[in-house]
């Protein structure tokens, strides 16, 4: 992979992709009257950096045993992954019109293998990291080289199973494993740090034996930089990405009502202007 | 049974390099030979069963055949949702083995009893459930489980159980093994209760009542051919299990019975543990006696039912 964290042109291209995907999420939520829009918007930049600049994948060969794997563990925000995969060429973009349409293959939370590129059916929080550990360990046992990336929510870090996995990964020396925590500071009903003692989140991963990096999860230079910087051999990496729930649309940003509500036609138009979509 | 498990899984791991053992910190020295021979395919995942199961599913998704092994309540009830989502929903070829099942670890208290695992595991779509009777049947079940490409749960006992079969008997999912024929009662035994069922059959024979005995290692799927046959006759049918009467093997047979379009003639008796936890100290025999599933207590109940029938 080419290092792009200091390449303004490439970063601008990634930012443009992220804006387009954000507008896609607004449209999906409006059409399907679906929830979880804000948590989808918060992780878009992470997904764009991963899918366009990090993952060794070929949309034409989604089952390649040597592909990098991304487990999207915050399944409630799956529209962000669907839109990313469609834009990246895993399936036709028109199919996003079928989001949550009865009988379609894009459920509101993903089912196993629902569309090419979805590596795991998530939605119940706290599963993705353990599964990712298994995939990373399989890479060693089968002697096939690939990376495993797990995108998690901050609320998800309250699940005990996350820390079971976090305690084992360094012991197994799984250097091919990377966690990205979309730390948008909210969970379903409250500030995540008000519900449980989330902070200091980076120090928790560090204490569990992970190499850690802390970034602005909306700064494309920082995201790509954290992904491309050399890392310690045989040590899993946790990237704590500070994000804003609802990022990109002024009236959604940091307003947790948008964990549940969906935009009306007027709000879609305002979002279009703010995201500079023609 | 667990020594036979360790020996057989060692052999199977030698024959199939996809086999990976995951222990949740159990089996002290039991797997030394395995670990020495295949160090890259044995992992102690710690006292962390939920992660053990998710990790197994991740391994299986990449073409491996993981086996999750620890004490039954911890690898079934504790991580039930991981089994549901990561193994069964994704149809991953993972084998879950619960050791010390039923009342095998009676003296360790109800935390270590598993009288609900069959109920939990058979409720999961796509999960197949096995309960071998002895060390020999265990070997047959284990071979079949690893040859299958679907989720399997197998409950096994501890060590030193009586061995009934002289060699590993033929086994197939949905097929039970007949050990004897009888015309008064058919004893459908699952798991480690087979020696008890045989003892019951012996006691009944002394009273001139002949009992057919089946070892029903395949709890899900059931052997419907045998069920149709035994329920088509006049003899009593009794299920025997070291598991709760709610949701277990007998309950599965009762469900099958309720779904038959023609009401069969035979009456069903279900022997299993009742709806309470044990609180007092004691070994397996004491626990079975208390719950009414010792050979003596079952024989009494069967004889009573036969009297009533007349």
What CA–CA distance (Å, rounded) separates A176 from B58? Answer: 14
Contact, B115 vs B106, CB < 8 A? Answer: no
Percent of residues, chain A, with pLDDT higher than 90:
98
**Of residues B43, B55, B90, nearest to A130 (C-beta):** B55
Backbone angles phi, psi at B120, to 5 degrees: -65, -50
State yes or no: cis peptide before A200, omega within 30 of 0.
yes
Distances (CA, A) of A4 to A19, A95, A223, A229, B61: 19, 31, 10, 11, 32
Task: Report, as an integer, the average pLDDT of B139-166.
Answer: 96
Instruction: Look at residue B17 in the predicted model and tell me its pLDDT.
Output: 97
Task: Report, as an integer, the average pLDDT of A22-29.
Answer: 98
**Of residues B40, B43, B86, nearest to A131 (C-beta):** B86
From chain A, the residues in CB contact with B51 under 8 A are: 130, 133, 161, 164-165, 168
How does DSSP classify residue A249? S
Interchain contact, B55 vs A120, CB within 8 Å: no
Model pTM score: 0.97
Interchain contact, B55 vs A165, CB within 8 Å: yes
Task: Report, as an integer, the average pLDDT of A244-251.
Answer: 97
Instruction: Look at residue B27 in the predicted model and tell me its pLDDT.
Output: 86
Distances (CA, A) of A38 to A34, A95, A261, A265, B258: 11, 22, 9, 17, 49
Common-topology check for domains B2-155 and B177-309: yes
Domain ranges of chain A: 8-274
Nearest CA in chain B to A127: B54
Distance of alpha carbon A254 from the chain centroid: 18
Predicted ipTM beyond 0.95: yes
What confidence tens digit (pLDDT) does each residue in B211-237 have? 999 999 999 999 999 999 999 999 999
Instruction: Look at residue B183 in the predicted model and tell me its pLDDT.
Output: 94
State yes or no: cis peptide before B221, omega within 30 of 0.
yes
Q: Does A1 score more than 80 pLDDT?
A: no
What confidence tens digit (pLDDT) does each residue in A133-180 have? 999 999 999 999 999 999 999 999 999 999 999 999 999 999 999 999
Both tokens of residue B130? 């096995």
Task: Report, as an integer, the average pLDDT of A226-246.
Answer: 97
Confidence of residue B288 (pLDDT cuts 50, 70, 90): very high
Q: Does A121 score more than 90 pLDDT?
A: yes
What confidence tens digit (pLDDT) does each residue in B73-94 have? 999 999 999 999 999 999 999 9
From chain A, the residues in CB contact with B40 under 8 A are: 140-141
DSSP A175-215: TTEEEEEEE-SB-SSSBHHHHS---SHHHHHHHTT-EEEEE
Contact, A110 vs A104, CB < 8 A? Answer: no
What CA–CA distance (Å, rounded) separates A73 from A123? Answer: 7
Contact, B176 vs B218, CB < 8 A? Answer: yes
What CA–CA distance (Å, rounded) separates B41 from B19? Answer: 7
Tokens 């204490």 found at: A207
Chains A and B: how many Cβ contacts under 8 Å? 97
- Per-residue b or e along B255-278, where b marks 16 or more CB atoms closer than 10 Å to that residue's CB: eeeeeeeeeeebbbbbbbbeeeeb
Instruction: Look at residue B310 in the predicted model and tell me its pLDDT.
Output: 56
B177-309: which CATH topology?
Rossmann fold (3.40.50)
Contact, B187 vs B204, CB < 8 A? Answer: no
Q: Does B176 score more than 60 pLDDT?
A: yes
Interchain contact, B57 vs A131, CB within 8 Å: yes
Backbone angles phi, psi at B5, to 5 degrees: -60, -50
- Higher-pLDDT residue of B308, B151: B151
A27 Cα to chain B: minimum distance (Å): 30
| Of B46, B45, B68, B72, the residue nearest B56 (C-alpha) | B68
Task: Report, as an integer, the average pLDDT of B239-243.
Answer: 98
Contact, A209 vs A235, CB < 8 A? Answer: yes
What CA–CA distance (Å, rounded) separates B114 from B196? Answer: 18
Tell me which of 3.40.50.1000, 3.40.50.300, 3.40.50.970, 1.10.3720.10 is the CATH number of domain B2-155.
3.40.50.970
What CA–CA distance (Å, rounded) separates A192 from B70? Answer: 34
What CA–CA distance (Å, rounded) separates B42 from A78? Answer: 34
Assign 3-class secondary structure to chain B.
CHHHHHHHHHHHHHHCCCEEEEECCCCCCCCHHHHHHCHHHEEECCCCHHHHHHHHHHHHHCCCEEEEEEEHHHHCCCCHHHHHHHHHHCCCCCEEEEECCECCCHHHCHHHCECCHHHHHHCCCCCEEECCCCHHHHHHHHHHHHHCCCCEEEECCCCCCCCCCCCCCCCCCCCCEEEECCCCEEEEECHHHHHHHHHHHHHHHHCCCCEEEEECCEEECCCHHHHHHHHCCCCEEEEEEEEECCCCHHHHHHHHHHCCCCCCCCCEEEEEECCCCCCCCCCHHHHHHHHCCCHHHHHHHHHHHHHHHC
Interchain contact, A168 vs B45, CB within 8 Å: yes
Instruction: Look at residue A2 in the predicted model and tell me its pLDDT.
Output: 77
What CA–CA distance (Å, rounded) separates B259 from B301? Answer: 26
| Segments in A89-157 forming alpha helices (H) | 128-141
Confidence of residue B36 (pLDDT cuts 50, 70, 90): very high
Domain ranges of chain B: 2-155, 177-309
What confidence tens digit (pLDDT) does each residue in A95-113 have? 999 999 999 999 999 999 9
Instruction: Look at residue B264 in the predicted model and tell me its pLDDT.
Output: 84
From chain A, the residues in CB contact with B43 under 8 A are: 137, 172
What CA–CA distance (Å, rounded) separates B239 from B228? Answer: 15
How does DSSP classify residue A258? G
Interface of B with A (CB under 8 A): 20, 40-41, 43, 45-46, 48, 50-51, 53-64, 66, 81-82, 85-86, 89-91
Percent of residues, chain B, with pLDDT higher than 90:
97
Interchain contact, A134 vs B41, CB within 8 Å: no
Tell me which of 3.40.50.970, 1.25.40.10, 3.90.960.10, 3.30.365.10 is the CATH number of domain A8-274.
3.40.50.970
Percent of residues, chain A, with pLDDT higher than 70:
100
Q: Does B263 score more than 90 pLDDT?
A: no
What CA–CA distance (Å, rounded) separates A253 from A258? Answer: 9
């Amino acid at each position: 992979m080419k290092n792009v964290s200091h390449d303004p042109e490439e970063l601008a291209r990634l930012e443009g992709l992220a804006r387009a995907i954000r507008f896609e999420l607004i449209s999906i939520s409006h059409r399907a009257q679906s929830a979880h829009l804000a948590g989808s918007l918060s992780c878009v930049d992470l997904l764009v950096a991963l899918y366009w600049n990090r993952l060794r994948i070929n949309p034409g060969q989604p089952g390649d045993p040597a592909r990098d794997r991304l487990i999207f563990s915050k399944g409630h925000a799956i529209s962000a992954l669907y839109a990313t995969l469609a834009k990246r060429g895993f399936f036709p973009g028109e199919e996003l019109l079928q989001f949550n349409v009865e009988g379609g293959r894009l459920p509101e939370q993903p089912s196993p293998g629902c569309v090419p590129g979805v590596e795991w059916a998530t939605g119940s929080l706290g599963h993705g990291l353990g599964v990712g550990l298994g995939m990373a360990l399989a890479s060693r046992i089968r002697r096939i080289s690939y990376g495993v990336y797990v995108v998690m929510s901050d609320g998800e870090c309250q699940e005990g199973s996350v820390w079971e996995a976090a305690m084992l990964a360094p012991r197994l020396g799984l250097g091919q494993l990377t966690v990205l925590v979309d730390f948008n500071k909210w969970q379903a009903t409250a500030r995540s740090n008000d519900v449980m003692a989330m902070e200091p989140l980076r120090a928790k991963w560090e204490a569990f034996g992970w190499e850690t990096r802390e970034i602005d999860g909306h700064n494309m230079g920082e995201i790509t930089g954290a992904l491309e910087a050399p890392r310690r051999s045989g040590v899993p990496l946790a990237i704590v990405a500070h994000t804003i729930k609802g990022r990109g649309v002024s009236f959604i940003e940091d307003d947790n009502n948008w964990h549940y509500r969906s935009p009306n036609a007027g709000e879609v138009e305002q979002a279009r202007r703010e995201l500079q979509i023609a | 049974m667990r020594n036979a498990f360790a020996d057989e899984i060692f052999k199977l791991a030698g024959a199939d390099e996809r086999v990976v053992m995951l222990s949740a910190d159990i089996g002290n020295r039991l797997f030394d030979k395995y670990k020495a021979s295949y160090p890259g395919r044995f992992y102690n995942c710690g006292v962390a069963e939920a992660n053990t199961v998710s990790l197994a599913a991740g391994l299986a998704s990449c073409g491996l055949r993981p086996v999750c092994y620890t004490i039954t309540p911890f690898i079934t009830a504790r991580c039930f949702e991981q089994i549901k989502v990561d193994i069964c929903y994704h149809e991953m070829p993972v084998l879950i083995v619960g050791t010390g099942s039923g009342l095998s670890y009676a003296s360790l208290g109800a935390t270590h009893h598993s009288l609900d695992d069959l109920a939990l595991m058979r409720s999961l779509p796509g999960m197949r459930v096995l309960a071998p009777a002895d060390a020999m049947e265990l070997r047959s079940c284990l071979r079949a489980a690893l040859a299958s490409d679907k989720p399997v749960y197998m409950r096994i006992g501890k060590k030193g159980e009586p061995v009934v079969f002289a060699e590993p008997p033929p086994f197939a999912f949905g097929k039970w093994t007949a050990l004897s024929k009888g015309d008064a009662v058919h004893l459908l035994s699952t798991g480690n209760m087979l020696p008890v069922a045989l003892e019951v059959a012996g006691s009944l024979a002394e009273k001139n009542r002949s009992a057919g005995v089946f070892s029903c290692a395949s709890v899900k799927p059931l052997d419907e051919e045998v069920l149709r046959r035994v329920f088509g006759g006049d003899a009593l049918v009794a299920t025997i299990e070291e598991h709760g009467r709610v949701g277990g093997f007998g309950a599965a047979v009762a469900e099958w019975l309720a779904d038959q379009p023609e009401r069969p003639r035979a009456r069903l008796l279900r022997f299993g543990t009742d709806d309470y936890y044990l609180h007092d100290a004691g070994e397996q025999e004491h626990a079975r006696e208390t719950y009414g599933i010792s050979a003596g207590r079952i024989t009494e109940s069967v004889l009573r039912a036969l009297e009533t029938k007349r």
